[in-house]
Protein backbone atom coordinates (compact mmCIF):
# COMPACT_ATOMS: atom_id res chain seq x y z
CA UNK A 1 0.00 0.00 0.00
CA UNK A 2 1.35 3.44 -0.94
CA UNK A 3 1.37 5.85 2.03
CA UNK A 4 -0.83 8.92 1.69
CA UNK A 5 2.02 11.08 2.94
CA UNK A 6 5.70 10.26 2.45
CA UNK A 7 8.03 12.58 4.40
CA UNK A 8 11.07 11.58 2.36
CA UNK A 9 9.48 12.33 -1.02
CA UNK A 10 8.30 15.72 0.17
CA UNK A 11 11.77 16.52 1.53
CA UNK A 12 13.32 15.67 -1.87
CA UNK A 13 10.76 17.79 -3.75
CA UNK A 14 11.37 20.77 -1.48
CA UNK A 15 15.15 20.38 -1.85
CA UNK A 16 14.78 20.52 -5.66
CA UNK A 17 12.49 23.53 -5.37
CA UNK A 18 14.95 25.38 -3.12
CA UNK A 19 17.87 24.58 -5.43
CA UNK A 20 16.29 25.22 -8.83
CA UNK A 21 13.31 27.56 -8.48
CA UNK A 22 14.89 30.91 -7.78
CA UNK A 23 11.67 32.84 -8.34
CA UNK A 24 9.60 30.57 -6.11
CA UNK A 25 8.07 32.63 -3.28
CA UNK A 26 8.52 29.64 -0.96
CA UNK A 27 12.28 30.21 -1.01
CA UNK A 28 12.02 33.68 0.52
CA UNK A 29 10.88 34.99 3.85
CA UNK A 30 7.58 36.78 3.36
CA UNK A 31 5.29 38.95 5.42
CA UNK A 32 3.35 36.51 7.56
CA UNK A 33 -0.45 36.37 7.58
CA UNK A 34 -2.19 38.25 10.40
CA UNK A 35 -2.81 35.11 12.44
CA UNK A 36 -1.05 31.74 12.32
CA UNK A 37 -0.97 28.57 14.36
CA UNK A 38 2.42 28.12 16.02
CA UNK A 39 3.29 24.44 16.42
CA UNK A 40 5.81 23.02 18.86
CA UNK A 41 9.18 22.00 17.38
CA UNK A 42 10.15 18.35 16.79
CA UNK A 43 11.32 16.62 19.94
CA UNK A 44 9.21 18.72 22.31
CA UNK A 45 5.75 17.94 23.68
CA UNK A 46 3.12 18.46 21.00
CA UNK A 47 1.27 21.73 21.45
CA UNK A 48 -0.03 24.63 19.39
CA UNK A 49 -1.45 28.12 19.85
CA UNK A 50 -2.62 31.05 17.76
CA UNK A 51 -0.05 33.78 17.12
CA UNK A 52 -0.68 37.31 15.90
CA UNK A 53 2.27 38.20 13.69
CA UNK A 54 2.28 42.02 13.72
CA UNK A 55 3.83 42.19 10.24
CA UNK A 56 6.73 39.82 10.98
CA UNK A 57 8.43 37.93 8.17
CA UNK A 58 9.13 34.22 7.96
CA UNK A 59 8.05 30.96 6.40
CA UNK A 60 4.84 29.11 7.02
CA UNK A 61 2.73 26.23 5.74
CA UNK A 62 -0.89 26.41 4.66
CA UNK A 63 -3.46 23.65 4.92
CA UNK A 64 -6.12 23.22 2.25
CA UNK A 65 -8.83 20.68 2.91
CA UNK A 66 -12.48 19.96 2.31
CA UNK A 67 -14.26 20.74 5.56
CA UNK A 68 -16.50 17.69 5.11
CA UNK A 69 -19.50 19.24 6.82
CA UNK A 70 -19.76 21.29 10.00
CA UNK A 71 -16.49 21.97 11.78
CA UNK A 72 -16.26 20.36 15.21
CA UNK A 73 -13.54 22.83 16.07
CA UNK A 74 -12.83 26.39 14.93
CA UNK A 75 -11.91 29.80 16.30
CA UNK A 76 -14.77 32.00 17.46
CA UNK A 77 -14.64 35.29 19.35
CA UNK A 78 -15.23 33.56 22.69
CA UNK A 79 -12.27 31.18 22.19
CA UNK A 80 -9.75 33.60 20.66
CA UNK A 81 -7.98 34.62 23.90
CA UNK A 82 -7.74 31.03 25.16
CA UNK A 83 -6.47 29.72 21.81
CA UNK A 84 -3.77 32.39 21.74
CA UNK A 85 -2.44 30.76 24.91
CA UNK A 86 -2.95 27.16 23.81
CA UNK A 87 -5.17 25.17 21.49
CA UNK A 88 -6.86 22.19 23.20
CA UNK A 89 -4.58 19.71 21.44
CA UNK A 90 -6.36 16.52 22.48
CA UNK A 91 -9.70 17.82 21.16
CA UNK A 92 -8.41 18.86 17.72
CA UNK A 93 -9.55 16.85 14.67
CA UNK A 94 -7.08 14.23 13.44
CA UNK A 95 -6.75 15.94 10.05
CA UNK A 96 -5.58 19.16 11.76
CA UNK A 97 -3.14 17.21 13.98
CA UNK A 98 -1.75 15.48 10.87
CA UNK A 99 -1.20 18.88 9.23
CA UNK A 100 0.64 20.04 12.38
CA UNK A 101 2.87 16.96 12.14
CA UNK A 102 3.75 17.65 8.49
CA UNK A 103 4.53 21.28 9.41
CA UNK A 104 6.82 20.13 12.23
CA UNK A 105 8.58 17.58 10.02
CA UNK A 106 9.29 20.29 7.43
CA UNK A 107 11.02 22.35 10.12
CA UNK A 108 8.38 25.08 10.03
CA UNK A 109 7.09 26.91 13.07
CA UNK A 110 3.79 28.18 11.64
CA UNK A 111 0.79 26.92 9.71
CA UNK A 112 -2.25 28.83 8.42
CA UNK A 113 -5.59 27.02 8.61
CA UNK A 114 -8.68 29.03 7.71
CA UNK A 115 -10.97 27.54 10.38
CA UNK A 116 -8.46 28.45 13.10
CA UNK A 117 -6.84 31.63 11.77
CA UNK A 118 -10.02 33.45 10.78
CA UNK A 119 -12.50 34.15 13.58
CA UNK A 120 -15.50 32.30 12.20
CA UNK A 121 -18.22 34.32 13.94
CA UNK A 122 -16.64 37.74 13.36
CA UNK A 123 -17.86 39.36 10.11
CA UNK A 124 -15.19 42.08 10.35
CA UNK A 125 -12.37 39.53 10.64
CA UNK A 126 -13.80 37.59 7.69
CA UNK A 127 -14.09 40.77 5.63
CA UNK A 128 -10.42 41.61 6.36
CA UNK A 129 -8.96 38.12 5.98
CA UNK A 130 -10.92 36.33 3.24
CA UNK A 131 -9.65 38.63 0.44
CA UNK A 132 -6.08 37.80 1.54
CA UNK A 133 -6.44 34.04 1.05
CA UNK A 134 -4.99 34.06 -2.48
CA UNK A 135 -1.83 35.76 -1.17
CA UNK A 136 -1.73 33.61 1.97
CA UNK A 137 -1.68 30.39 -0.06
CA UNK A 138 0.58 31.87 -2.75
CA UNK A 139 3.24 33.00 -0.28
CA UNK A 140 3.34 29.85 1.82
CA UNK A 141 6.47 27.72 1.82
CA UNK A 142 4.34 24.61 1.35
CA UNK A 143 0.63 23.95 0.98
CA UNK A 144 -0.53 20.73 2.58
CA UNK A 145 -3.66 19.47 0.86
CA UNK A 146 -6.24 16.90 1.80
CA UNK A 147 -8.88 17.47 -0.91
CA UNK A 148 -10.94 14.30 -0.47
CA UNK A 149 -12.23 14.09 3.05
CA UNK A 150 -15.41 12.62 4.44
CA UNK A 151 -14.99 14.52 7.69
CA UNK A 152 -12.26 16.57 9.32
CA UNK A 153 -11.94 13.94 12.06
CA UNK A 154 -10.68 11.36 9.50
CA UNK A 155 -7.00 12.34 9.24
CA UNK A 156 -4.60 11.66 6.37
pLDDT digits (tens, 9 = 90+) for 93-143: 888 998 999 899 888 999 999 999 999 999 999 999 999 999 999 999 889
Q: How many domains does the chain have?
A: 1
- 64 lies in a domain? yes
- 16 lies in a domain? no
Domain interval for residue 82: 28-146
Question: 118-155: b or e for each residue (b if 16 or more CB lie within 10 Å)?
Answer: bbeeeeebeeebeeeeeebeebbbbebebeebebbeeb
Whether residue 45 is predicted with pLDDT greater than 70 in this model: the reply is yes
- 138 lies in a domain? yes
pTM given for the model:
0.83
- 12 lies in a domain? no
Whether residue 50 is predicted with pLDDT greater than 80 in this model: the reply is yes
Amino acid sequence: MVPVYDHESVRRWLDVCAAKHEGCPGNDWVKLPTTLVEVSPPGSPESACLRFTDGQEGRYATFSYCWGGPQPFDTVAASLAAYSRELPYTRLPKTILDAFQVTRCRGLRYIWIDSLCIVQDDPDDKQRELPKMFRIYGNSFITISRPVLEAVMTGF
